[in-house]
Amino acid sequence: MSDQAHETAAELGGAIDSGRPLNLMERRRFLQAALVAGGGAVALPTMFADVLSAQASNTNTILVTVTLGGGNDGLNTLGPFGNGQYRDLRGQLAVPVGGSHAVGDGLYFHPRMRRLATRFRRGDVAVVRGVGEPLLDRSHFSNLARWQSANPNGVINGTGWLGRWLDAHGAGQFGGIAIGGQGVPLHMRGNSADVTDLPRGGGGLYGSDRSQQRDQRMYRAIRQMGKNSDRPAWVNRVGEVNAQAIDAAQAVAPSFRNELPEARLTRDMVLAARVINLNLGTRIVNLWHSGYDTHDRQIGSDATSGDHADLLDELDIGLDAFFASLSGPMAERVVVMVYSEFGRRAEPNGSLGTDHGTSSHVFLVGRRVKGGLYGDPPPLRALDDRGDFRVTMDFRDVYSTVVQQALGTGSQQVLGATYGAIPSLIGATSLGDAGGSLADRAEAIRRRRKSDPKDYLVDRAPTF
Amino acid sequence: MGGTTAQIDTFVGMTREAAVDRVMNTNNNPGLPGWGAFDTGDENWREQEKMIEWWVDRMITAPPTIEEKLTLFWHDHFATAREKVGESRLMWDQHLVLRNHGQGGFRNLLGRISFGSAMLIYLDNESNVAGAEQENFARELMELFTVGNGRFSEDDVVSMAKAWTGHNTVGATRENNWKYDPTYVFKAGEHDNSQKTLFGIRKNWDAADTLDELCFGVKATATSDYLARKMFQFYVHTNPSQAVVDDLAAGFRASNLNIRQLLRSILLHDEFWAASSRYALVKSPVEFMVDILRRNGLRSRDESVRWRMEGMGMTLFDPPTVAGWGSNDFWLSTASAWAKSRWVNNLKWQADERGILQNLDNLDPDQVVNVILTFYSIFDASQRTRDYMRELIVTTRAEREWAMAYEPYAVGMFAPEVQCA
């Protein structure tokens, strides 16, 4: 909460303890109070201005993070597959050029990523290379926690960079949506932000059926019991979450009305698109795609098949299904950021896999993204003293770019320090289309759906 | 794992010591089934489901002793997932280790888990070979199982991985028609016999030496601190002071890392009994389900528990990562709330079949509230919780001739107090 908001709270009678962040109910109450006071009596803090404008504004960028859990082998996702040094380094694990998708600069997308490559050629994909930080260790948990918390001193205090953004610029209960029913990921956790965590199936949305008087009475009881009162903190917190779940169920129920695809990531991505289409004021969404911890046999008969190739295939199909399921206006507003806690080590290990490494690519995808290659690729020969790729860009530089250009606010408060930003990577509106008009793209998507009907199930008519 | 109101009543009037002694006496607990109880041939998913159902029923029916909750603690601590391990049989073998050795010396437990096939497979030590080391197990052994993050160096990880080379399963061999054999085996040809520097000590480290060093050597303080803190957080509250942890850790070390000694100190701790520790933990979905099932006289098969616990975010034998599950906030998501509320809403019809809500018609609303909350052993519910249960009873009665309290009963299961411990 900003200092200004605290001062305003004090003016309102000091009912709120200024030493801790406000919870949802307090913020609502405070907002009402602030509005009643009205006029020039109190300045409306920016966080509330955002809430009020969330519905009215329909041009804000929506940030969708896709977290590749386990540490993605970035070098085999997009790499110099024709390069002799690469082939020497990777040996059996090297991805063949045949079937790969050239994107210039001697780089290729993996053969199983043709859809993303197509999107790249249209100018909608930015690849930032060499992203990471000098590692303190190579643990999944601490690296993911450092990426997600993004505190300048590496301290993990339970909040994440996007959770702190939501704290400061809150967009209400649906400002942040976590897909998957696995809890709110660290990067979306704030001190006061309420993030809605959607399960993968819609049948269990208790609170969505309002047809029975009997149920309505129970919803009221659960809601009322959930309000803060004089009882232990965790009891209050449980009650609050119970009450929120009742409200959230009704709001998101339409997303589950039509059947969802079977495939795990595609299902989640289509669900994410449908929730965004509901126009609930959502600004940040997270999805997980796990299984990238490819220590053991990451390839099949060669690198075009096997575990890692299958993951990239799922990712490729999932991203495509996501954009195809977005309504027209929302498709223009979304920026997808694909990242992982680290890359893999340069050299394969002894079991046709790769161990935990350092830097890797971050992908940004969307109509507002100025596509292309960014950052310096870590040299294949000049590895660090542990045989890892060098880090050429701090991940917080990417975050500061995303916060400033996609979320449209300053990044210093969220990141706790000033970081560099890549100039003009993301626009406030759609950027020019290198690959044809909107109509051409719509036609191309229709054709692709036709030729590839089993890839995914797309909403016939996205609902608003 | 809690108990019924009647079971809890039998502890009234006991001293702390007597009560703790009683729950720590596991000598009369029922015996364990053999693998045959779960074996289906090769349907691993179904075998896991049967194991879950067996465990949930045991948690419901076993006498109130430390065994079940402590086994759950170790399952979370040495988190291993059937999804990666593949064979449910190996998860059962590991479960028996957690159960049968989870109350003795920590070094013994650590060794049996580390050399167990489930862990060798789960953290890839089966592909850890001299010259091409695989660090997954080496890192988690230190970060999650013993000393905790920040208490070892990256060089230690490299040396630890080397020390663990060659400790493997038989694997797929020609003699066995390439069928995978998970039996533990030491493959001497794959072991690194070189001098390695671990924790600043240079020698030819082998796997078992590293466990001794972690438990009793230069890392004994770190390991005892890490485990004392983690166990206190599991049983009492999440914010113990360093002084409390230091004290517990010192006693744990003095007992050569005897787990019963540590647990006993925690259960006798003033903070365990303090009023401020009441409701300081959010029940995990398994604890919540077991409590509700037990009080309603239900068993696992009545309620397809595997499917329910998956919705709530906690499938036994399939923790999400090697870090296991979290605590408190970890369980508070809209998704988990939806799964819980939907389940208890269905359960309300069981109350009729089981005659749980009979004879409430003549009671006034406040008395009905008391009956329902007492059913869940909640004697100190907040006024807000009582007020709105009461309102629900009043509005339900106003609409109907008959006054069966289905809705208040369901909402009672979902009361914030019932979901905390």
Min Cα separation A225/chain B (Å) = 5
Tokens of B333: 């998501």
Is the distance from CB of A171 to CB of A54 less than 8 angstroms?
yes
pLDDT band at A447 (very low <50, low <70, confident <90, very high): very low
pLDDT at A152: 66
Tell me how many degrees the CA angle A99-A102-A108 measures, rounded to the nearest 5: 80
Assess A356–B contact: CB distance below 8 Å, yes or no: yes
Q: Which of A280-284, A342-346, B12-16, B264-268 is predicted least confidently?
A: B12-16
pTM, entire model: 0.77
Q: How far apart are CA A418 and CA A410, in angstroms?
A: 10
Look at residue B359 and tell me whether its pLDDT is greater than 90.
Answer: no
pLDDT at B130: 95
Q: How far apart are CA B13 and CA A463, in angstroms?
A: 63
Which one is predicted more confidently, A13 or A391? A391
pLDDT at A427: 92
**Could you write out the three-class secondary structure of B344-402?**
HHHHHHHHHHCCCCCCCCCCCHHHHHHHHHHHCCCCCCCHHHHHHHHHHHHHHHHHCCC
Interface test mutation site (partner B, options A235, A280, A295, A388, max chain B beta carbons within 10 A):
A235
pLDDT at A303: 97
pLDDT band at A455 (very low <50, low <70, confident <90, very high): very low
Look at residue B295 and tell me whether its pLDDT is greater than 50.
Answer: yes
Residue partners of A461: CB distance under 8 A and separation at least 6: none
Look at residue A353 and tell me whether its pLDDT is greater than 80.
Answer: yes
Look at residue A256 and tell me whether its pLDDT is greater than 50.
Answer: yes
Is the distance from CB of B127 to CB of A349 less than 8 angstroms?
yes
pLDDT band at B35 (very low <50, low <70, confident <90, very high): very high
Assess A196–B contact: CB distance below 8 Å, yes or no: yes
Distance (Å) of CA B377 to CA B10, B372, B421: 13, 9, 11
pLDDT at A298: 96
pLDDT at A460: 31
Tell me how many degrees the CA angle A241-A245-A248 measures, rounded to the nearest 5: 130
**Interchain CB distance below 8 Å, B389 and A214:** no
- What element of type H or E holds A442? helix A438-451
Tell me how many degrees the CA angle A17-A19-A21 measures, rounded to the nearest 5: 85
Residue range A252-276: mean pLDDT, rounded: 93
Min Cα separation B332/chain A (Å) = 7
Surface of B (378-407) touching A: CB under 8 A: 382-385, 387-389, 391-392, 395-396, 399, 407
Look at residue A46 and tell me whether its pLDDT is greater than 70.
Answer: no
Assess A224–B contact: CB distance below 8 Å, yes or no: yes
Summarize pLDDT for B41-58 with one digit per residue, the tens: 989 999 999 999 999 999
Assess A386–B contact: CB distance below 8 Å, yes or no: yes
Q: How far apart are CA A258 and CA B8, in angstroms?
A: 48
Min Cα separation B371/chain A (Å) = 17
Look at residue A39 and tell me whether its pLDDT is greater than 70.
Answer: no
Distance (Å) of CA A319 to CA A187, A252, A265, A337: 21, 21, 9, 11
What's the distance, CA A430 to chain centroid?
19
Is the distance from CB of B117 to CB of B93 less than 8 angstroms?
yes
Look at residue A5 and tell me whether its pLDDT is greater than 90.
Answer: no
* Cα distance between the two ends of chain A: 32
Surface of B (82-101) touching A: CB under 8 A: none
Burial (CB < 10 A; 0-12, 13-18, 19+), residue B88, is buried
pLDDT at A295: 92
**Could you write out the three-class secondary structure of chain B?**
CCCCHHHHHCCCCCCHHHHHHHHHCCCCCCCCCCHHHCCCCCCHHHHHHHHHHHHHHHHHHCCCCCHHHHHHHHHHHCCCCHHHHCCHHHHHHHHHHHHHHCCCEHHHHHHHHHCCHHHHHHCCHHHCECCECCCHHHHHHHHHHCCCCCCCCHHHHHHHHHHCCCEEEEEECCCCCCCEEEEEEECHHHCCCCCEEECCEEECCCHHHHHHHHHHCCCHHHHHHHHHHHHHHHHCCCCCCHHHHHHHHHHHHHCCCEHHHHHHHHHCCHHHHCHHHCCCCECCHHHHHHHHHHHCCCCHHHHCHHHHHHHHCCCCCCCCCCCCCCCHHHHCCHHHHHHHHHHHHHHHHHHHHCCCCCCCCCCCHHHHHHHHHHHCCCCCCCHHHHHHHHHHHHHHHHHCCCCCCHHHHHHHHCCCCCCEC
pLDDT at B401: 58
Is the distance from CB of B103 to CB of B73 less than 8 angstroms?
no
Residue range B314-321: mean pLDDT, rounded: 90
Kindly list the residues from chain B whose CB atom is less than 8 angstroms away from the CB atom of residue A234. Answer: 279-282, 328, 420
Task: Calculate what percentage of chain B has a pLDDT beyond 90.
Answer: 71
Distance (Å) of CA B72 to CA A22, A317, B236, B316: 35, 39, 15, 9
Summarize pLDDT for A60-109 with one digit per residue, the tens: 999 999 999 999 999 999 999 999 999 999 999 999 999 999 999 999 99
What's the distance, CA A440 to chain centroid?
28
pLDDT band at A54 (very low <50, low <70, confident <90, very high): very low
Q: What is the largest CA-CA distance in chain B?
A: 84
Min Cα separation B194/chain A (Å) = 18
pLDDT at B146: 98
Strand partners of residue A285: A64, A177
Phi, psi of A373 (to 5 degrees): -105, 130
Q: How far apart are CA B201 and CA B191, in angstroms?
A: 19
Residue range B196-207: mean pLDDT, rounded: 98
Residue range B157-162: mean pLDDT, rounded: 96
Look at residue B61 and tell me whether its pLDDT is greater than 50.
Answer: yes
Min Cα separation A93/chain B (Å) = 15
Tokens of A43: 């300045």
> Would you report the helix, strand and coil content of chain A in percent, each value rounded to 5?
40, 15, 45
**Across chain B, what does the average pLDDT equal?**
92
pLDDT at A434: 41
pLDDT band at A136 (very low <50, low <70, confident <90, very high): low
Distance (Å) of CA B296 to CA B48, B289, B292: 25, 11, 6
Comparing alpha-carbon positions, the chain B residue that sits nearest to A205 is: B338
CA-wise closest residue to A75 among A293, A436, A354, A448: A354
Task: Calculate what percentage of chain A has a pLDDT beyond 90.
Answer: 61
Tokens of A166: 């939501």
The dihedral built from the CA positions of residue A20, A23, A29 and A35, taken in this order, carries a sign that is: positive
CA-wise closest residue to B166 among B198, B200, B193, B201: B193
Residue range A114-128: mean pLDDT, rounded: 96
DSSP 8-state symbol, A26: H
Q: Which of A87-101, A395-409, B8-22 is predicted least confidently?
A: B8-22
